[in-house]
Amino acid sequence: MKTNLVLVAVFVLALFCFGCGDGVDGNVAGDPDSSDAAQTDNLAMSTASSIDWAHTAPVMLHGSNLPVCPSAELNGTRCHARVVVDDQNKPKASTGPTGYGPSQFRSAYNVSGTAAGTPLIAIVDAYDDPNILADLNTYSTTFGIPTMAACPTSPWPPTAPCFRKVDQSGGTSYPKADAGWALEISLDVEIAHAVCQNCAILLVEAKSAGTTDLMTAIDRARTMGAKAISNSWGGGESSSETSYDSHFNYKGIAFTVSSGDSGYGVEWPAASPYVTAVGGTTLTLTGGGARASETVWSGAGSGCSKYEAQPSFQTALGLATCKKRMVADVSADADPNTGAAVYDSVSYQGQKGWFQVGGTSLAAPLIAAIYALGGVGNVQANSMPYSLGAYTINLFDVISGSNGRCSPSYLCTGVAKYDGPSGLGTPIGATAF
Ligand SMILES: [Ca+2]
């Protein structure tokens, strides 16, 4: 434990040195000796005030990427994060942020201001991230956004921004730690906070990635008062999936679910007619941080469900070629090469520090936070982007890129108006949510 504390301290100091002098962008040192630490300290003294990550153009990595979570366990559920790797397929970890930060996402999606009140966003994932609150605060401090304290147990739901972690029973008997899922958790929590900085965040850790445990965690998030519940995981469809849909059938709560990272094809629970299925895009920015372009990300999941009924608000689109539930509903950035800067101090394949992470796992908490900013009334939340009518005004229509071959082609290709991989489009502020 003491060693970990020392390492964390070194990482924090090292942050201030990223990009200075010789352009440090290598891996976090494993066991720096005292002279290294002294040198870092001196550099931190001389450069800390000159690096302002909140207003600095992001450092973007470009390269291959790999799934963060191990191959599917149990019934096939896995998390939907992908991390940029080096030419040895090792995750790239750096001492300073690589990837988009809070100001880039808020600018690209025209998000400004804060939510009314203190909406509670729940993040549902499997296994434990033992460092999540400290890592969230390193993220926040680095980017100059508000830090979060642990929530008091009363009042509940909280009336001021704070962070709380519970097991699937609502207690503190956390499941075993898992390095892959810890990176997923870091992504989810940090993105939710980046987009809604005055929301409270509840992390519910399922005991496993099995459907029964994940559904228990979702029920826990709901009964503890979450207004938006983000789920960045899924698996292939099965004929039994509809029997679990009741866990999502509640008005006044936005359940966001990533559509998957394997390209054209439908996953569940994104296919549930009661969730907001969140697809993925490649997001590029202008020098000023506004959206320069947004196209379908090749990895985003999409398609026509085999088992789920089509919700009436999709039928109203008049796309009669798919008679079942269409995935996705909306979308956001998911390409690892235009991914998020994520801070994670849990050693993942020997790496820790700043990672660049994408996958539709990035898009799901981003959309959950925008629902929280917009405010969810007593309606089925996934109908909101459709029923508010003017989605062509309040959502950015993605019209290019594809995630595979299919017929009809709109289910796998970015086209005008609705298409599978990007749904109705990506946020222009929170009006559509
Ligand atoms: Ca479109």
What is the per-residue pLDDT across 107-120, written as a single tens digit (0 to 9) for each? 999 999 999 999 99
Question: Strand, helix or coil at 143?
Answer: helix
What's the confidence (pLDDT) of residue 376? 93
What's the confidence (pLDDT) of residue 24? 31
Q: How far does the centroid of ligand 1 lie from the alpha carbon of residue 297, in Å?
A: 13
Q: How far does the centroid of ligand 1 lie from the alpha carbon of residue 303, in Å?
A: 14
User: What residues contact residue 427 under an 8 Å CB cut-off, 6+ apart?
Assistant: 109, 110, 111, 330, 332, 367, 370, 395, 396, 433
Q: What is the pTM of this model?
A: 0.89
What's the confidence (pLDDT) of residue 186? 98
Domains of the chain (ranges plus CATH)? 2-50 (no CATH), 65-427 (3.40.50.200)
Q: How far does the centroid of ligand 1 lie from the alpha carbon of residue 305, in Å?
A: 19
Residues with Cβ–ion distance below 5 A, ligand 1: 397-398, 419
What's the confidence (pLDDT) of residue 53? 85
Q: How far does the centroid of ligand 1 lie from the alpha carbon of residue 414, in Å?
A: 5
Q: How far does the centroid of ligand 1 lie from the alpha carbon of residue 122, in Å?
A: 29
What's the confidence (pLDDT) of residue 29? 30
Q: How far does the centroid of ligand 1 lie from the alpha carbon of residue 388, in Å?
A: 17
Omega of the bond prior to 155 within 30 degrees of 0, cis? yes
Q: How far does the centroid of ligand 1 lie from the alpha carbon of residue 236, in Å?
A: 24
Distance CA 367, CA 171 (A): 27
User: What residues contact residue 421 under an 8 Å CB cut-off, 6+ apart?
Assistant: 259, 264, 279, 280, 281, 296, 297, 300, 301, 302, 328, 331, 398, 401, 402, 403, 412, 413, 414
Q: Which residues of the chain have pLDDT under 70?
A: 1-50, 72-75, 388-390
What's the confidence (pLDDT) of residue 388? 59
What's the confidence (pLDDT) of residue 2? 40
What is the per-residue pLDDT across 245-280, written as a single tens digit (0 to 9) for each? 999 999 999 999 999 999 999 999 999 999 999 999
What's the confidence (pLDDT) of residue 56? 86
Integer angstrom CA distances of residue 234 from 69, 80, 125, 256, 267: 12, 7, 11, 12, 6
Q: How far does the centroid of ligand 1 lie from the alpha carbon of residue 38, in Å?
A: 54
Q: How far does the centroid of ligand 1 lie from the alpha carbon of residue 288, in Å?
A: 25
